[in-house]
Amino acid sequence: MAIHIQMSEKAERELKRSSIRNKISSLLACILFVGGGGLILTLTVIFIAAEPPPEFLVYYPPAEERLLVNEPMTPQLSSKAASPADSVAPTVIVSTAVAPVSMAPVEVPMDDSVWVGVSVELGMGLRDGLGNGLGEDGSGLGTGKTGGSALVGTFYDLKQPRKGSPTGIVSGGAGEGKVLEVLNGFLRNWSESALNKYYRAPQKLYASNFYVPVAYAKYGPIAYGVADKVKEGAWVAIYRGRVRAPKSGKFRFVGTGDECVAVRFNSKTVLEAGYRIPSRWPDGAKVSGVDHVRYAAAIKAGTDSVHKDYEFIKLNGIDIWNAEVGGLTAGTVFEVEEGKVYPIEVMITEVPGGKFGVMLFMEDMSESLKPDNPSNQYHLFRTNFSTPDETVILELLQKAGCNVGNSLQVPKYNPESLIWVVVP
């Protein structure tokens, strides 16, 4: 007997529903798979396979090979700084895609230019410089351009009050004693409060070295742009900053000034030199014009307790300084560590008017310079690549009416002079 089995109507309906669900699921899975694959392919074509548009990347050579132009970077300095023109390379532009590019030729001027205009020339330094990096600006009494590596100078006229009643100080004669008295008070702790009551020039100058030959004292007011307000005598300029030692060792400042140049390094006065020595006022310093002779005699005799370690050095090319103030004065020896930062202040002053001049060098005590050798070349104290040009200096002084004859009365300096970079 045969057995016949037949689904119930309910089971048949459920089977059909299940079959339809399976077909729909398969269809959706196919659509999802195809759509996802298409999306991945599209993204691949757009973001990976497509050729990127041409663009330019700027390549900067290493610091020691880079040219200091428009926005220069500070080069790495060694104990003997080379001229920037001998060891630098221009910026290179590199394309990351192959495409025809037209570029205009770029010319980099390598010659030095001189500022135009008498007051601008003396007040803005002796050379154009290399921009806002380490630069070459700041010779003479400084430049009016901010930025770069330079000490900041402030100019005071002791004959005029900042406000209020007159100061009672005049150029020359009995006024010299009062000027020395003010400077004596200032040098006790180098505080600006000692000068606050006197007229201050609105313009600040930024100096990288001090190399001014025998000139007329109106040089100072002209340089600071106040020649119409300040007469030539009884003025003082104070320069301040923080410098990084280029090498470890012992050093001393060597220089002189008319009327005086003084240096405080790391909160200690290490040089005071010239025709007037304010720290000796009134003891041993007369206004007769020979106080520098007494000063030199006291140092040579070892009776000046404040400057007992000083030394006088005569060099070639500075006959006037040799005859009148015993040459250059070498100050107190101090020690530094390479890379360490030290505060420094420089005072330059003119007392009676007439003639003016200042020069400031450094001696590396590890070098074998002999004090009795008139051809010694000391390091020019400088905070950037500044290298004063004697021909340019003389031309500027002549244009300003500040030159005294045709003899510059400044010695040669070491062309590889160390650079004491100013740190903000």
CA nearest to 322, candidates 312, 330, 332:
312
Residue range 64-95, pLDDT digits in tens:
444 343 444 444 444 444 444 444 444 444 44
Per the model's pLDDT, the better-predicted residue between 227 and 98 turns out to be 227
CA nearest to 78, candidates 87, 69, 67:
87
269-308 burial code (b ≥16 CB/10 A, e <16): bbbbbbbbbbbbbeeebebeeebbebbbebbeeeebeebe
123: pLDDT strictly greater than 50: no
Q: Looking at residue 49, what DSSP letter applies?
A: I
Per the model's pLDDT, the better-predicted residue between 286 and 31 turns out to be 31
pLDDT at residue number 225: 92
165: pLDDT strictly greater than 90: no
Provide mean pLDDT across the span 267-293. Answer: 75
pLDDT at residue number 77: 42
Beta pairing, strands 151-161 & 198-200:
antiparallel
Within 10 A of 32 (CB to CB), how many other CB atoms are there?
10
Fold (CATH) for 118-400: Jelly Rolls (2.60.120)
Residues 355 and 394 sit within 8 Å (Cβ to Cβ): no
Domain boundaries, the chain: 56-95, 118-400
pLDDT at residue number 344: 98
Per the model's pLDDT, the better-predicted residue between 232 and 348 turns out to be 348
pLDDT at residue number 144: 84
pLDDT at residue number 159: 93
pLDDT band at 131 (very low <50, low <70, confident <90, very high): very low
Tell me how far apart the alpha carbons of residues 351 and 217 are, in angstroms, rounded to a whole number: 9
75-79, 205-209, 356-360: which has the minimum mean pLDDT? 75-79
Virtual torsion, Cα 134, 136, 137, 138, nearest 10 deg: 90
Residue range 393-412, pLDDT digits in tens:
788 788 888 877 766 688 88
Torsion sign across C-alpha atoms 227, 228, 233, 234 = negative
Tell me how far apart the alpha carbons of residues 270 and 322 are, in angstroms, rounded to a whole number: 21
Residue range 241-252, pLDDT digits in tens:
999 999 999 999
209: pLDDT strictly greater than 60: yes
Tell me how far apart the alpha carbons of residues 276 and 324 are, in angstroms, rounded to a whole number: 12
Which tokens hold the place of 323? Answer: 């005859």
pLDDT at residue number 97: 43
Greatest mean pLDDT among 230-234, 292-296, 297-301, 347-351 lies in 347-351
Residue range 321-345, pLDDT digits in tens:
888 888 899 999 999 999 999 999 9
73-82, 156-165, 347-356, 401-410: which has the minimum mean pLDDT? 73-82
Q: What rounded mean pLDDT belongs to the chain?
A: 76
37-41, 120-124, 229-233, 386-390: which has the minimum mean pLDDT? 120-124
Per the model's pLDDT, the better-predicted residue between 74 and 59 turns out to be 59
- 339 burial (CB, 10 Å; 0-12 / 13-18 / 19+) is exposed
pLDDT at residue number 289: 45
pLDDT at residue number 53: 57
Distance of CA 329 to the CA centre of its chain: 25
pLDDT band at 11 (very low <50, low <70, confident <90, very high): low
